[in-house]
Structure 1
């Protein structure tokens, strides 16, 4: 069955602008720009659990964000510094930024819920039209109850589910499997991350299971960031590792070298700081 899409948005009301830290920006140089950038940062974080992950493309997270939002790096730095000082943004040891206020403001809805909401709206409009003309001559249209509408919706959804089930019988392509596997173990993937992972498969000739193993290593070590996975794959590519046999051989060599040495003296090649 096709993967259910989830749509996210921020619920911004008057209370947001009554926040003492937002109100203080009114009297600061560049305060309006910083407020807008802060809202855009929250929007950027919605599909990744309100966390802006540092991907390692540049030296600092602010450089990556300036490119994504198409704003100056100075404005991003001032915004990040201000809201970090206020405690609304927290930066961890991996340079990832968590936007705490966004967690309280986030709203979400599945595409199925949106469909049902729109379907009910259209049905009620038809009911209204039917009600307005029901006393006209030769009118045979019957005004449907809410229960009848709900039953019709359920029947249509069941029919759509059967169609999707039939359409999904064909095996997924390797690139699609990478995307599905990443999102099942790590989280939402953006277009640039998808391109990088598929290049390991298409250009570097890595086996699909090798890429999935790197994703597993990140998830199992609670390192749910793309930069961590990319570090593992970069290391394997530099060492000419493209197959699962080679991955297993590297681990065996590590275990052999580890014999006779303490755990503090040697680092697992699968673990990257």
Structure 2
């Protein structure tokens, strides 16, 4: 399993909510508020639930140890939360839930984080990778064809294919690795899509496209082979031959 990250998103009016105002007005209320926040953080990886593997009578004691707070203060906080329905008994034994925490929890995998950051970076740069690569080719003949589904006139179903001609070598490059895979490598599944996103985040679209092209030329239509090519190209260990076109 890959790494997963969790976070707690407090609403802007958290400290203006009636329950929190009442909690803070109690003597020692700021301490109780901190305890409540610690409990919310403790419930992050369990979708707003706090499980305790002990008798109910020892719940407060164990909770105080978990969040490193005074047992009496934890007891006062839990009583207040129960009274205001901020802590409720779960239908499962040895489990309580924090409804407000469940609403504020977010998470994503490390792979999703890398893909999201990559997309944000590409959007910020407003960079069209295919156009940039074409500009860098120099004296190369370029043909651009628009392939349309004959059964559908919707422009959204068209695919741009760029033919690069150099020393008798013709390379067809579709605008995205996903389209290239569908066109040349095989059936796109959810697993394959996630792996391609992961490779794009690590190496960039240009390297992934070239890796797929090399894999296709070698008759190796597998993710493992494509990823191996990505690593070699990225590290510089697998440089293109003079007659090959780097795109």
TM-score, scaled relative to structure 1: 0.46
Question: Shift of residue 156 of structure 1?
Answer: 5.6
Residues 156 and 25 of structure 1: is their aligned pair in 2 closer, same or farther, counting only changes over 3 Å?
closer
**Which has more strand, going by share of residues?**
2
Q: Indicate conservation of the 8 Å contact 2:64/2:70, yes or no.
A: yes
Runs of 5+ consecutive residues of structure 1 not aligned to the other structure: 167-273
Work out the CA distance in 1 between the residues paired with 2:88 and 2:30: 22
Q: 1:82 aligns with which of 80, 83, 101?
A: 80
Q: State the number of aligned residues.
A: 152
The equivalent residue for 2:198 is: 157
Of structures 1 and 2, the one with the larger relative CO (CA 8 A, separation 6+) is 1
| Stretches of 4+ aligned residues off by more than 4 angstroms | 124-128, 147-154, 158-163
Name the SS for the 1:52 alignment partner. strand
Q: Indicate conservation of the 8 Å contact 2:82/2:88, yes or no.
A: yes
The equivalent residue for 1:7 is: 5
Structure number with bigger Rg: 2
The answer to whether the aligner puts 1:94 opposite 2:135 as a matched pair is: no
Residues 156 and 6 of structure 1: is their aligned pair in 2 closer, same or farther, counting only changes over 3 Å?
closer
Work out the CA distance in 1 between the residues paired with 2:197 and 2:44: 31
Work out the CA distance in 1 between the residues paired with 2:97 and 2:49: 4
Question: Shift of residue 121 of structure 1?
Answer: 3.3
Q: 2:48 aligns with which of 50, 62, 81?
A: 50
Residues 22 and 150 of structure 1: is their aligned pair in 2 closer, same or farther, counting only changes over 3 Å?
farther
Question: Shift of residue 27 of structure 1?
Answer: 1.7
**Which has more helix, going by share of residues?**
1
Question: Shift of residue 140 of structure 1?
Answer: 3.7
Residues 149 and 33 of structure 1: is their aligned pair in 2 closer, same or farther, counting only changes over 3 Å?
farther
Question: Shift of residue 110 of structure 1?
Answer: 2.1
The equivalent residue for 2:104 is: 105
The more displaced of 78-87 and 107-116 is 107-116
1:116-147 CA-partner distances (Å, limit 9, x unpaired): 0122234456667x9xxx9xxxx8499xxxx9
Q: Indicate conservation of the 8 Å contact 1:61/1:96, yes or no.
A: no
Work out the CA distance in 2 between the residues paired with 1:86 and 1:17: 15
Counterparts of 1:163-202 in structure 2 under 5 Å? Answer: none
Name the SS for the 2:43 alignment partner. helix
Residues 115 and 158 of structure 1: is their aligned pair in 2 closer, same or farther, counting only changes over 3 Å?
closer
Q: 2:65 aligns with which of 64, 67, 74?
A: 67
The equivalent residue for 1:205 is: none
Q: 1:33 aligns with which of 2, 14, 31?
A: 31
